[in-house]
Amino acid sequence: MTAPADDFVSRVLAVVESIPPGRAMSYGDVAAAIGSRAARAVGQTMAYYGSDVPWWRVIRSSGHPPENHETAALEQYRTESTPLIWSAAGHYRVDLRRARWSPD
């Protein structure tokens, strides 16, 4: 399983773990929280190491969860009462306007 987690990875995971239930952050927000704007690198890290953190609390700025994981994420959102916005087509997105969290 390798365990690099020198800096970036550790910090990303730390921020994600600091997000309380019912709240969420965008990848860019997490990157900014650690002093970087590498939103994509955050996603890369999440895809690889996110299995140990509440990855569903980290989503795109659009409010859409990662492709192929929207179903699993939805279960968590319903469980944690995360504010959601449903589209007419049946698609949903997290209401970041309300759920946005900042690691104090």
Contact 61, 55 (CB under 8 A): no
Residue 82's nearest CA partner among 73, 91, 69, 70 is 73
Shortest Å distance, C-beta 57 to DNA: 10
**Closer Cβ to DNA, 40 or 78, answer by number:** 40
Assigned token pair, 90? 């049946």
Shortest Å distance, C-beta 77 to DNA: 13
**Contact positions vs DNA (CB under 7 A):** 2, 4, 6-9, 26-29, 36-51, 55-56, 58, 60-62, 66-67, 69, 87, 89, 91
Residue with the two structure tokens 């492709």: 67
**Closer Cβ to DNA, 20 or 47, answer by number:** 47
Q: Helix (H, G, I), strand (E, B), or coil: what is residue 100?
A: strand
